[in-house]
Amino acid sequence: MAGLNTEERNTSGLSAAGLSIDRVTKRFGEHVAVDELSLEIKPGEFVALLGPSGCGKTTMLRMLAGFESVNGGRIQLGSRTLASPETHVPPEQRDMAMVFQSYALWPHMSVADNVGYPIKLRGLRGTEYQQRVQQALALVELEAYAERMPQALSGGQRQRVALARCLVSDPSVVLLDEPLANLDRHLRATMEHSFRDFHQRTGATLVYVTHDQTEAMALADKIAVMKAGKLVQWGTPQTLYHEPRTAWVAGFIGQGSQLKVAAGSPGKLLEHATLMRGLNATESERTQAVLVRPEHIQIATQLPSAHQLTAQVENVIFRGERYELSLRLPSSETLLAYHRTAPKVGSQVAVSLDQGWCMEPDQ
């Protein structure tokens, strides 16, 4: 397969290329599904498009694959333009491969035949064909299943066959559309490890669509959080968790409590002393939204000191390694906290907040 000048070839033989998405827009009639979205994806990065249903993430993936045209903006693979209002490179010429949620395997073909189908269509036969199929199966650790039929496989194994089938063509970019959505919780956890290991072995550029923030946080190098067709925030999982730009992102990524304080400004971290002073101010002074994650809340059963607040325990849930507490502050605001023991529902506890992150108001 012809390569681009900007491609990087890794030890597995797969290629990796960078993707540039520049102010891409897609409309369906009056509805704007994707609204001037821009991303720069480096060669070999694992990127997740994350957001609720209807946010435009799958539409964006389909535009990358070439299944949808763009109404505005530009998509480039390396230096090559794949899509713009004037240009539309067909899917089969984009040097990309897509793994669908439904697996889409041929039931009458063996695992090896399913995997080799794309290159057989291109006329590849003989020893090179066999080597390419074996290499793709090895990358997903299914060499021993080559002669089995799809119906004899588990859901996780079928998804790995679908991944091998897209890899056999040696694509520059692998696109994945909610590939774990049809699996049960145990299989999803197993497949998360499989995808992570696969990415480490191949170094391929992956674009992964999901509505599951836990899945995205576990897998991706970077996450594009989308809402109503727009990019809300773009960053590493760690940045999105610790430094969400808006209250909406804070509520969508991880667990936490959103409070009002008389301190700080958007994009600032409040340390313990400043945060506690800001919480003890009068209600009219408390105008800055702040996020406090549950691991940053300390619980004590004795009477509060000057640097603590009183909270009432409203609910206690056992989570195995810890208890999850729902607390009510005198301001009527709620706190989510973790604790090693279970205080009695209705009792009073003292709480101390180690830090909080100041956010912009939602638009």
**Which CATH number does the domain housing residue 78 bear?**
3.40.50.300
The pLDDT value given to residue 1: 32
pLDDT band for position 33 (50/70/90)? very high
Residues 281 and 144 in one domain: no
CA angle 70, 75, 77 (to 5 degrees): 145
Average pLDDT of the chain to the nearest whole number: 88
The pLDDT value given to residue 241: 96
Give the CA distances from residue 100 to residues 176, 204, 220, 229, 349, in Å, rounded to whole numbers and listed in that order.
6, 17, 18, 21, 49
The pLDDT value given to residue 12: 46
What's the mean pLDDT in 324-348?
95
Domain that holds residue 206: 8-242
The pLDDT value given to residue 268: 96
Residues 291 and 188 in one domain: no
**Residues 220 and 214: beta-carbon distance below 8 Å:** no
- Of 174, 208, 242, which residue constitutes the final position of a domain? 242
pLDDT band for position 303 (50/70/90)? low
**Comparing 31-45, 104-118, 181-195, 219-233, which segment has the lowest mean pLDDT?**
181-195
Q: Is the CA virtual torsion 234, 237, 242, 248 positive or negative?
A: positive
Residues 178 and 293 in one domain: no
The answer on pLDDT for 258 being more than 70 is: yes
**Comparing 134-143, 206-215, 254-263, 314-323, which segment has the lowest mean pLDDT?**
134-143
Residues 55 and 195 in one domain: yes
Residues 151 and 283 in one domain: no
- CA atoms of 296 and 288, how far apart (whole Å): 18
Q: Is residue 363 part of a domain?
A: no
- CA atoms of 91 and 166, how far apart (whole Å): 13
Q: Give the 3-state DSSP-derived string for the chain, with helices as H, strands as E and coil as C.
A: CCCCCCCEECCCCCEECCEEEEEEEEEECCEEEEEEEEEEECCCCEEEEECCCCCCHHHHHHHHHCCCCCCEEEEEECCEEEECCCCECCHHHCCEEEECCCCCCCCCCCHHHHHHHHHHHCCCCHHHHHHHHHHHHHHCCCHHHCCCCHHHCCHHHHHHHHHHHHHCCCCCEEEEECCCCCCCHHHHHHHHHHHHHHHHHHCCEEEEEECCHHHHHHHCCEEEEEECCEEEEEECHHHHHHCCCEHHHHHHCCCCEEEEECCCCCCCEEEHHHHHHHHCCCHHHCCEEEEECHHHEEEECCCCCCCCEEEEEEEEEECCCCEEEEEECCCCCEEEEEECCCCCCCCEEEEEECEEEECECCC
The pLDDT value given to residue 9: 39
The pLDDT value given to residue 306: 62
The tokens describing 74, both together, are 């530009």
What's the mean pLDDT in 90-100?
87
Residues 67 and 150 in one domain: yes
What's the mean pLDDT in 113-140?
88
What's the mean pLDDT in 235-241?
96
The pLDDT value given to residue 191: 72
Q: Nearest Cα to 336, choosing from 259, 261, 274?
A: 259
Give the CA distances from residue 82 to residues 13, 65, 79, in Å, rounded to whole numbers and listed in that order.
23, 9, 9
The tokens describing 268, both together, are 């600032």
CATH number, domain containing residue 336: 2.40.50.140
pLDDT band for position 363 (50/70/90)? low
The tokens describing 29, both together, are 């009639």
pLDDT band for position 139 (50/70/90)? confident
Residues 33 and 102 in one domain: yes
pTM over 0.75: yes
**Residues 251 and 292: beta-carbon distance below 8 Å:** no
The answer on pLDDT for 5 being more than 80 is: no
What's the mean pLDDT in 71-98?
93
Q: Is residue 295 part of a domain?
A: yes
Residues 209 and 70 in one domain: yes
Residues 148-174: tens digit of each pLDDT? 999 999 888 888 888 888 878 778 898
Q: How many domains does the chain have?
A: 2
**Residues 89 and 40: beta-carbon distance below 8 Å:** no
pLDDT band for position 302 (50/70/90)? low
Residues 260-295: tens digit of each pLDDT? 999 999 999 999 999 999 998 999 999 999 999 999
- Of 217, 242, 267, which residue constitutes the final position of a domain? 242
- CA atoms of 80 and 89, how far apart (whole Å): 10
